[in-house]
Structure 1
Amino acid sequence: MKKNHSYGCGSSDKCPPLPKCDTAKSHTHFCDVGTPENTGGVEQTIILGDVPIQTLTEADIYLPSYATEIKQIRKNVYLTQCKAVPVIPEGFPETAPTSVKLYVEGYIHKNIQYVDDCEGYVKDYGVNVPFKCYSLVNTLPEIDWEFSNKNSNSNEIRELAKNGMGADRCSFGSFTFEFLNEPIKCKLLNASVTQMDILSDFDKWGRFDKITEKAEVNLLVRLTQRQLANGGGDQ
């Protein structure tokens, strides 16, 4: 029976561990350690670039009750996704990637304060307005990136059968490898929002409960990657 790790649809944004599998019996042997490489090098965080991003969004916001006037709207910008995927150039791996496909998603959290009459209490309503932007980013410094090959069919090892008429189905092997690339990380440095709010759905007393927002969202996102700098240097 498989164990329930409490990772259901939409239950967590974290990458869960693999399900626990059976463990095969193995024979442990001594290992052979080779000569260390990259001695004297320094691993440091490289700034690939501060990327300006602009996206447009339009949303219909429905207030929980009718209003006669908006007093103020407070806004904060949050990112829910920022993923940079290197674009593999011609001549790879001799030519390193210098471009990425950037996937950015987030939302504007709006705190709307309004009144429903000429006097009375100020009401408060919070709502999130999503936005997204997918784009190509060029002219970055060289990105450290390698492919892996984990499919045993690509570099398969086969031996001749005893009768010399084909492959031995009971003896086979493969050569696989995987490179663990340093991820490209994102950091939101600043954000600005320019918006127009259009009121509609008025009742006979001149009150409204619908706001159509047209917003321009400007972001400045920093892309970084841990890389090896030979010859030492500042960390």
Structure 2
Amino acid sequence: MADQPCPVPSTEQIPLTVEPTTIISQATTSTIKVPVVLAEPTLQIVVESTITLNPAATEIKRVGKNVFLEQVKLVPVSFVRIGTTDFFNVTRAKLFVAGHIRKNIEYATRGCNRKLRDRIADVPFSGFADITTFLTPPIIGVSEESKAAFLNEENGLVPRLDKFFFQNLVKYNEQPFGELVAANFYELDFSPVTAKPEEAFTTLTEKIVLDLTVKVLQTQQLKFTATQQITTPPQGTVGT
């Protein structure tokens, strides 16, 4: 007896009507608070590391790499006052960067038909760069502190050391922050002791040149002219 076909349940779909939704547009001047790109530099980082392999290797098969950033800090060092305010545009800054390169080393061990081994190593790096050109200048407000002293009421020739008036104005600034964009690796891996074919080695020296691209951002308040759009669904009994 021949095999019978195996039916499966199915449901016929009902066509739905499509009508355009009315959108009302009106001009507006809006103020938003969004992250703004201050700079997008590419930093060249040069590191050298020595990694031990256990068990010993006879051949390096593949090395995978990723970058993990732990710090991107902008320290302003030069300013221009904004009008007559106590806010300043930053014209020069030091960018401190720290993190590590995570390396995944796959290698063969001594013997025929042996399993590949895996060695994971974190190679730390840190440094700073001088940022003199900004896509959008950072903004920083300076805090103020004032102090007023008083004369002695009984003797106008001496001050009172137990009476003062204090005034403090603290401006809380948006902290610039970083984002990882791209990492380009140039790398030379070798055993410090030359190994013959099929001879094992336990130490791997790595010389790495990393071109690291990062974004430096700061949340700022912007005002712009835009077109405000309001979606209006079809009206029912209300509004007719």
- Do the two structures share a fold, i.e. TM-score over 0.5? yes
Check if 1:183 corresponds to 2:175: yes
Correspondence for 2:58:
68
**CA distance in 2 between partners of 1:214 and 1:137 (Å):** 26
What is the CA distance between 1:197 and its match in structure 2? 0.6
What is the CA distance between 1:137 and its match in structure 2? 1.0
**CA distance in 2 between partners of 1:138 and 1:233 (Å):** 32
- Return closer, same or farther for 1:223/1:73 CA change in 2, 3 Å cut-off: same
* Secondary structure, counterpart of 1:117 in structure 2: coil
**Residue of 201, 204, 214 corresponding to 2:207:** 214
Correspondence for 1:110:
103
Correspondence for 1:200:
192
* Secondary structure, counterpart of 2:140 in structure 1: coil
What amino acid maps onto 2:118 in structure 1? D
Q: Deviations over 1:121-145 (max 9, x none)?
A: 2111111111223111112122211
**CA distance in 2 between partners of 1:217 and 1:132 (Å):** 12
The RMSD of aligned alpha carbons is: 2.4
Q: Deviations over 1:139-161 (max 9, x none)?
A: 212221112235xxxx2111111
Higher strand share: 2
What is the CA distance between 1:43 and its match in structure 2? 2.1
Correspondence for 1:136:
130
Aligned residue pairs, count? 191
Tell me if the contact between 1:201 and 1:209 (Cα under 8 Å) persists in the aligned partners. no
Query: What is the 5 A alignment of 1:139-158?
Result: 139-140=133-134, 141-149=136-144, 155-158=146-149
What amino acid maps onto 2:218 in structure 1? Q
* Secondary structure, counterpart of 2:165 in structure 1: strand
Correspondence for 1:160:
151
What amino acid maps onto 1:121 in structure 2? K
Q: Deviations over 1:164-212 (max 9, x none)?
A: 1212123212122211111111100111211001212468983111111
Structure possessing the higher relative contact order (Cα contacts under 8 Å, 6 or more residues apart): 2
Q: Deviations over 1:66-124 (max 9, x none)?
A: 111112111111111111122223x5455621322100111111111222213212111
**CA distance in 1 between partners of 2:71 and 2:162 (Å):** 47
**CA distance in 2 between partners of 1:202 and 1:52 (Å):** 35
**CA distance in 2 between partners of 1:186 and 1:146 (Å):** 20
**CA distance in 2 between partners of 1:46 and 1:156 (Å):** 37
What amino acid maps onto 1:190 in structure 2? A
Correspondence for 2:15:
none
TM-score (structure 2 length as normaliser): 0.72
What amino acid maps onto 1:160 in structure 2? L
Where in structure 2 are there 5+ consecutive unaligned residues? 1-28, 228-240
What amino acid maps onto 1:229 in structure 2? L
TM-score (structure 1 length as normaliser): 0.73
**Residue of 119, 127, 138 corresponding to 2:121:** 127
Tell me if the contact between 2:54 and 2:202 (Cα under 8 Å) persists in the aligned partners. yes
Correspondence for 2:44:
54
